[in-house]
């Protein structure tokens, strides 16, 4: 049976840890002179409904560095679900390439691709979650603390797709997860219920609070994201009115653990959810985190095509 990578919640803690261990190995291998061409003659179709810097470049380079190839398909070329049904696109592309990565608006679109494709499908982002980002996040935390077990991770801001996948990987691997944000921007109840089961199994905890100061106390990781995501532009003014108390600035970081790291999935709106002083400061891991997309995704692709 083919394996897809649609959500962190689909994988066991040991499967996730095995992929992270592979990411560490492939990262070191690249540093030591280059990766082995384990994906020689393999091709990835990259289907984009949303523009991207990190997702496009990291997947493209992941395939190249592992000896494979990647084909970029822009929103205009396919018109997923508009010009042609998702089922038809999935079945056609399955006959040309070995794996599909899709960055979509609606989560249902990536689910339908996976349903109809005969080859593995990777969720490069949907409105529900962002599992590839979560793998890079876990790799970054692992590199800084040696484990995720009992690490206090606080997400400051909107309970969005990035927060959902981060919550899943934290609860799967034993990190304590806290989210803080203004009323009306909470995490989906369904996702919380799923994560609570993982937390019960791993011994981690989940907490939600409006009090940002309470949230970051004893935090090892402070994670934030843009107040207004792609596709929410019409809400920007409304969001800019309620999110400023949740800005990650030097004062807030000083309330966390003294060795705390600050993370952000990027792109960052500097001066809004994060200040320049923090983004470019000693606690920041923004760019190592972004670079870890490459290594984490190599491990995902290698696992699915292995």
- Contact at 8 Å (CB) between 143 and 209? no
Q: Can 170 be counted among the known catalytic residues? A: no
Nearest Cα to 297, choosing from 50, 70, 32, 49? 70
Q: Can 210 be counted among the known catalytic residues? A: no
Which is the catalytic residue, given 49, 133, 289, 297?
133
- Contact at 8 Å (CB) between 117 and 94? yes
Which is the catalytic residue, given 109, 283, 285, 293?
293
Q: Can 98 be counted among the known catalytic residues? A: no
Q: Can 103 be counted among the known catalytic residues? A: yes
Determine which helix (DSSP H) or strand (DSSP E) holds 61, and give its type and residue range.
Answer: helix 54-65
Which is the catalytic residue, given 132, 225, 272, 295?
225
- Contact at 8 Å (CB) between 295 and 66? no
Q: Can 276 be counted among the known catalytic residues? A: no
Q: Can 83 be counted among the known catalytic residues? A: no
Which is the catalytic residue, given 132, 137, 158, 265?
265
Structure tokens at 175: 């990190």
Which is the catalytic residue, given 54, 109, 130, 283?
130
Which is the catalytic residue, given 103, 220, 239, 295?
103
Where do the DSSP E strands lie in the chain? 43-48, 69-73, 99-103, 121-125, 152-156, 176-180, 206-209, 221-224, 261-264
Please list the active-site residues: 103, 130, 133, 225, 265, 293
């Amino acid at each position: 049976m083919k394996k897809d990578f649609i959500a962190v919640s689909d994988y066991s803690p040991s499967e996730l840890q095995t992929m992270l261990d592979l990411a560490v190995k492939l990262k070191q291998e690249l540093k030591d002179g280059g990766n082995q061409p384990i994906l020689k003659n393999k091709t990835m179709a990259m289907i984009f409904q949303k523009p991207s810097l990190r997702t496009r470049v990291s997947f493209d380079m992941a395939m190249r560095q592992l000896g494979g190839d990647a084909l970029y398909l822009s929103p205009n070329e396919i018109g997923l679900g508009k010009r042609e049904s998702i089922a038809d696109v999935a079945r056609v592309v399955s006959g040309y390439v070995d794996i599909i990565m899709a960055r979509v608006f609606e989560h249902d679109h990536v689910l339908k691709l996976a349903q109809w494709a005969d080859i593995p499908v990777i969720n490069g982002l949907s409105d529900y979650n962002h599992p590839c980002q979560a793998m890079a996040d876990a790799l970054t935390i692992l590199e800084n603390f040696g484990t995720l077990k009992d690490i206090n991770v606080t997400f400051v801001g909107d309970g969005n797709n990035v927060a959902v996948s981060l919550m899943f990987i934290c609860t799967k691997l034993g990190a304590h997860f806290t989210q803080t944000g203004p009323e009306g921007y909470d995490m989906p109840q369904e996702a919380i219920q799923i994560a609570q089961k993982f937390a019960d199994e791993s011994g981690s905890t989940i907490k939600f609070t409006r009090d940002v100061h309470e949230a970051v106390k004893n935090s090892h990781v402070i994670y934030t994201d843009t107040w207004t995501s792609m596709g929410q532009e019409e809400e920007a003014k409304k969001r800019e009115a309620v999110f400023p108390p949740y800005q990650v600035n030097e004062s807030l970081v000083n309330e966390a653990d003294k060795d705390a790291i600050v993370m952000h999935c990027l792109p960052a709106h500097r001066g809004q959810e994060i200040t320049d002083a923090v983004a470019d400061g000693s606690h920041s891991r923004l760019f190592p985190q972004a670079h870890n997309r490459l290594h984490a995704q190599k491990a995902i692709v290698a696992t699915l095509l292995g």
